Each structure stands twice: as structure tokens, then as C-alpha cells.
Amino acid sequence: MAESENIVAETAEKIFADLADAQTINRDKRGEWKAPLWQALTDSGLPLSWVPEDCGGSGASLAEGFSVLSAAGRFAVAVPLTETMLAGWLLAQVRISSPGGEMTVVPASPKDRITINADGSLSGRARGVPFAKAAKHFAVLASDANGGSLSMALVDAAKCRIETGLNLGGDPSDVVTLDKVQPVAIKPAPKGFDQTRLMLMGGVARSLQIAGALESMLEISVRYSNERVAFEKKISKFQAVQHNLARLAGESAAALAAATSAADAIANATSFDDEVFLEAVAAKIRCAEAAEKGGGIAHQVHGAIGFTVEHILHRYSLRALAWRDDFGSESYWAVELGKLVAVRGADELWPLVASR
């Protein structure tokens, strides 16, 4: 990690440690912790990390922004930081300045579409949009009536209809309907940009968050196993528990390796080619698998206490499970990866894999 990445990540870590402690949040049933955390993040410029300075942002690199997302995952942060970063990145592709406040991206699923009408307004329905209810603006990727040329738009969230929903972690996952909504600003997308690129960016962001959450689940589980005593000895001394912790460590390491490799590939790529596609899709699939297996193992180590609302473990495990479905589920991307392999042919599979 470069020195600048260290500084950005350390800034994020300090803010989260001071204002997003899991035990404190668990005891705060009124959600009073959110406003101070968001204000601190805004003051540091982290939500607009990927927005150039002349567009109202911090001008951080992709790698620096990815380090923030890893930190956010380790604290299972339940504010629209990732979503605002992605929205700012999308708008920055066409030099639309990002407004202040929370944002999110529409659509958040590869199967949903927003259409540009003849009068320039936007229409469409997007499901599972993270933190739509909390957002002041949406960064929208829309296509013309024929599904051809794409444009990027800034939309006032107040002009859209939002149906409230929740994901497994209890965070907003809403349905957004645009009915002839006039955007605040709209510009044609850069040549070669498509919805898949947005989904891949979102998928890698979620992969980093899942990997971060698994790191925390491992740390919490190891600490608990060294504190909990059964039959007059710490449960960490039991072979079955040691075996489970080793499996959890393996899932955490695999997720971290896949997610950071994909983030590095995107940060250093000049285009979203097949190699970047392979990295990003493989990361989302592997991290989704790790979230399911790792979360189950962590709860098994904790026994009954790990399933209670009072314990902090569920903050990480449930969010990691929820993040699997954002920006395309693992099953969706598995099919897309299979299509890529089939198109390239059997002789090209090994060179593609070995090149990474």
C-alpha cells in the first residue's frame, strides 16, 4: 500500500474507531450516532474521494478510495459512504459536479434499466437501491429508448418515488421509481462505458466490504474463544474450535486476496477488459461464498450468544450476507463468467486465468 493510501485509510480508520464503535452503535436504539459520523466523514472529504477537486471532491485515486471501503467493511459501517463514493465516481466520468450530502447510484442491479424519454426526462424502476431513502441525490445511468447510447445524470431524490425496503443487515434497500423525472444535469456517457462497468465497480466495492467484515468476524471470534471458558479451560484449546477458527481464517484470507486483487486490477487498468472483468467477477463470487461460510463459522464458535441482538457479531455477518446481492448476485456473475469463458473458447481459458 502506497503512503498516500496509508494516510487515507488511517484517516478513515480513526473516524470509524471514534464514531462507529459497534458496541456503542448496538446500544444506540435511536440512531443518534449517524449524524456525527457522517459529519466527520464529510469534513474529511471521504464520501467524495473519487471526485476531482474541480468537481467538488477530494481528488483521491481509485486505490485510495478502495482502502476506505476496506476500512468501512471492517467496521460494518451502516451509512451511505460506499454509495456516495460510487455516485461521485459515476458523475465524475462526465464532469458533473457532485452536490453535498448523501447520494446513491441507480440502478444497483444489472437487470434494471432507466430510460431517457424524448423530452429528456427519465423513467424506470430500480430495485434494491442501497440507502435510496437516505439519499438527497441519485447518480443515474440511463439509456435511450432503444437501449443504445447511455447518459449519466444527477437527479433530485425528492422527485422520485421510493418504496422503503431493508436488507438482511437492516439497512435501506429500496425500490426507486422515476416517472418522467427531469434531471438536475445530464451528459452522454464516455465511449465504451456501459452498465456492466458500473456493476463491476459496485461489485468490487462490496467485495472489499465483505472482506473487511470477515476480518472483524475472525478477530471477534478469536478473542471470544480466548475469553470463554468451558469445562475449566478456554474453548480455544478445544480441537473442534481451533479447526473452525482455521477455516474462518482461510475464508477471510481468500476473500481479502480476491477483493484486493480486483481492486488493484481496476486501479491500474486503462480499460475494463476481459482481465479486469475476470478479477472483479471472481472477487464478487468468492467473497459472497466466504460471507456465507465465514459467517456461519463465526456464529458457531460463539454458540448461542452469537445469535442474540445484544452481541455485535450479527452487525458484520448479516451485512456481509446482504452485500452479496448488491450490484449483481454471485449466481448472476457466475453465469456471466461462464459466458465469457464460452465465448473465448477452451484454448483461451488457461491463458486468461494464468495472466492474472
Give the pLDDT confidence of 160-173 residue by residue, as tens digits: 999 999 999 999 99
Q: What pLDDT is attached to residue 122?
A: 97
Q: Are 200 and 272 in contact (CB under 8 A)?
A: yes
Q: Can you give the pLDDT of all 356 residues of the chain as single tens digits?
A: 555 567 888 999 999 999 999 999 988 888 899 999 999 999 999 999 999 999 989 999 999 999 999 999 999 999 999 999 999 999 999 999 999 999 999 999 999 999 999 999 999 999 999 999 999 999 999 999 877 799 999 999 999 999 999 999 999 999 999 999 999 999 999 999 999 999 999 999 999 999 999 999 999 999 999 988 888 899 888 999 999 999 999 999 999 999 999 999 999 988 888 899 999 999 999 999 999 999 999 999 998 888 788 889 999 999 999 999 999 999 999 999 999 889 888 888 888 777 76
Cell numbers at residue 148, please? 443504445
Hey, do 103-191 and 195-354 end up sharing a CATH topology, with the first three levels equal?
no
**Number of neighbouring beta carbons within 10 Å of residue 116:** 21
Strand partners for 137: 103, 156
Q: Give Cα separations from 291 to 78, 81, 125, 170, 176 (angstroms).
A: 17, 21, 29, 17, 27
Length of the chain: 356
The topology (CATH level 3) of 195-354 is Butyryl-CoA Dehydrogenase, subunit A; domain 3 (1.20.140)
d(CA 72, CA 79): 10
Angle at 137 between CA 135 and CA 138, to 5 degrees: 95
d(CA 213, CA 291): 9
**Number of neighbouring beta carbons within 10 Å of residue 261:** 18
d(CA 296, CA 221): 12
d(CA 211, CA 70): 7
The topology (CATH level 3) of 103-191 is Butyryl-CoA Dehydrogenase, subunit A; domain 2 (2.40.110)
User: E strands, the chain, where?
Assistant: 103-106, 114-116, 122-130, 137-143, 150-156, 161-163, 173-181, 185-188, 229-230, 233-234
Q: What pLDDT is attached to residue 331?
A: 96
Q: Are 322 and 171 in contact (CB under 8 A)?
A: yes
Q: What pLDDT is attached to residue 308?
A: 84
Domain ranges of the chain: 1-77, 103-191, 195-354
